Amino acid sequence: MFNQEEIKKDLEYLTGAITKEMKALIKLNGSFASGELYNSVRTSVDKKGDDWKIKFNMIYYGLFVDKGTRPGHYPNINDLREWARYKGISQAAVYPMAKNIFKYGTKARPFTTPLEEGSPLLKELLDGIGESFIDDAVEQIMQDAKYFGARLR
């Protein structure tokens, strides 16, 4: 059938490209402060039975950065202090910012868009992997045909 190592290599290439794009978006959209979120974005490719599993992981607050938050909750004040320190914002502004977050929520700063269905990057990568699978399938069929002495038209 298909070469399992080639499939894994292709899937790792796919996840690596998506991770690279996500990290670039973290820097571009102003979400980079301590580097904790940036460095926490990780992927893994595993095979369970006949199925391939792709996992994307990040630190817990990555979803809040990506999607934003609704009004009605106070952020962790210590985390907000640390963020302000990295951004060079006065510590005196931390409590007013916390009140503002409670009142208005936070703006989304999307960086997981390369994972969304219909993403141009994902489409391009999947098309490339599809070509690789087709090439592998044709090669396998040709080998099988030679083995069984069949003729291809």
* Nearest-5° Cα angle at 23, 103 to 46: 110
pLDDT digits (tens, 9 = 90+) for 104-148: 999 999 888 766 666 666 666 666 655 555 555 555 555 544 544
Strands 42-48 and 51-57: antiparallel
* pLDDT tens sequence across 14-56: 888 888 888 988 999 889 999 999 999 998 888 888 787 888 8
CA torsion angle 80 83 88 90 (round to 10): 10
Global pTM value: 0.69
Within 8 A by CB and 6+ apart from 119, the residues are 113
Output the DSSP codes for 69-102: B-SS-PPPHHHHHHHHHHHT--GGGHHHHHHHHH
CA distance 69 to 75: 10
| pLDDT, position 12 | 86
pLDDT in tens, 60-115: 888 889 889 999 999 999 999 999 999 999 999 999 999 999 999 999 998 887 66
Q: What is the pLDDT of residue 131?
A: 56
